[in-house]
């Protein structure tokens, strides 16, 4: 068996790797990170704590990088048992970048990056696999400040992945034009991207239920607060 945790050189991702090891996961635990130096340092630290962890490079913003990880997992393990999509980013409150730039960069990482990893790795899921997309409690707060029309779209259980992608793209364009709030969007780039992650998780879970009903695969989003 094999478990993969993205964005795991620090923070929640690192804690998840540590807890998987403490829980004596019956297989290999792979810590991935965009920065190879920081990723290997995290592995070294965990090994000094007595945990056996492997490192594999993954930049979720690079579809080629996700494909390389997919090829490695297929060749080495023949599949995937646990996937924790934790990698993400947020600008600091004192960031000097324009809101439009923050929206584009944050969306590319948190939403599109998560989507690309899922496209690369979900086909490898074995029966009884587990997937967790790490969203945020800010997604609920952001959803509550969307216009009623946008809230209805996001809550529509028939919303497709393609339609969700269009909505995420519309937010970035509105943010760059400076009229996102007038169009009913919340004034948070991070929160909006995490709405996308939460809704994407519902869409993916429904798809797995329909296409692999007998395989016992569970896919959920978790929405932690400050950590």
3-class secondary structure, 77: coil
Tokens 């400040």 correspond to 145
In degrees and rounded to multiples of 5, residue 125 shows phi and psi of -60, 130
| 190 given a catalytic annotation | yes
Contact 7, 35 (CB under 8 A): no
How many other β-carbons are positioned within 10 Å of the β-carbon of residue 182? 10
Contact 224, 16 (CB under 8 A): no
Helices (H), 59-188: 63-76, 99-107, 114-121, 137-144, 148-155, 161-177
Catalytic residue among 88, 106, 190, 191: 190
d(CA 62, CA 113): 8
Which residues are annotated as catalytic? 190
């Amino acid at each position: 068996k094999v478990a993969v945790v993205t964005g795991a050189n620090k923070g929640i991702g690192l804690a998840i790797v540590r807890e998987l090891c403490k829980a004596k996961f019956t297989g290999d635990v792979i810590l991935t990170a965009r920065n190879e130096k920081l990723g290997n340092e995290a592995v070294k630290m965990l090994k000094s704590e007595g945990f056996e962890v492997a490192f594999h490079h993954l930049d979720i913003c690079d579809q080629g990088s996700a494909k390389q990880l997919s090829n490695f997992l297929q060749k080495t393990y023949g599949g995937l048992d646990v996937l924790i999509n934790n990698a993400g980013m947020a600008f600091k409150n004192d960031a000097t970048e324009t809101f439009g730039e923050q929206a584009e960069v944050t969306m590319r990482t948190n939403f599109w990056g998560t989507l690309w990893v899922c496209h690369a790795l979900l086909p490898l899921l074995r029966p009884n696999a587990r997937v967790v997309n790490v969203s945020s409690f800010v997604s609920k707060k952001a959803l509550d400040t969307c216009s009623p029309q946008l809230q209805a779209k996001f809550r529509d259980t028939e919303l497709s992945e393609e339609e969700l992608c269009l909505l995420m793209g519309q937010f970035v364009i509105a943010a760059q034009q400076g009229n996102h709030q007038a169009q009913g969007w919340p004034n948070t780039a991070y929160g909006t991207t995490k709405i996308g992650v939460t809704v994407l998780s519902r869409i993916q879970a429904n798809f797995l239920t329909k296409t692999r009903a007998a395989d016992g695969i569970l896919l959920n989003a978790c929405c932690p607060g400050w950590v």
